[in-house]
Amino acid sequence: MTLSEVLLWQEIKGKQLGVQFSRQIPIDEYIVDFYCKNLQLAVEIDGESHTWEGQYEKDLIRQERLESLGVTFIRFDDLDVKKNINWVVNSLLEKVQELSK
């Protein structure tokens, strides 16, 4: 796990947001950083590797495939997790509440 993944995991493990998240979950032929099965919510942290040439297109194809299976995505930048974890957690909580309705 990257530092950002560790930091976010500390904030969401153990149903801290009211739902259970799991780490590094395989869905179809892909692995998502965090996943809430009950809400079909994938959480991705985009680090430096996501800025490499061609990676945006690969991420888009991957996300579209998983969305076609009913998965909802929320993405955060690696630096936001490291520098503004409260904003990240609040944004994730809002998405959880939205999907819980």
More confident residue, 69 or 54: 69
Query: What is the pLDDT averaged over residues 15-22?
Result: 97
pLDDT value of residue 37: 97
Interhelix angle for 85-100 vs 3-12, to 10°?
50
Model confidence at 59: pLDDT above 90: no
Beta strands in 1-101 (DSSP E): 22-27, 30-36, 41-46, 72-77
Query: What is the pLDDT averaged over residues 10-33?
Result: 96
Buried b (16+ CB within 10 A) or exposed e, 56-71: eeebeebbeebeeeeb
* Domains of the chain, earliest start first: 3-100 (3.40.960.10)
Mean of pLDDT over the chain: 93
Model confidence at 48: pLDDT above 60: yes
Model confidence at 97: pLDDT above 90: yes
Query: What is the pLDDT averaged over residues 15-20?
Result: 97
Query: What is the pLDDT averaged over residues 33-44?
Result: 97
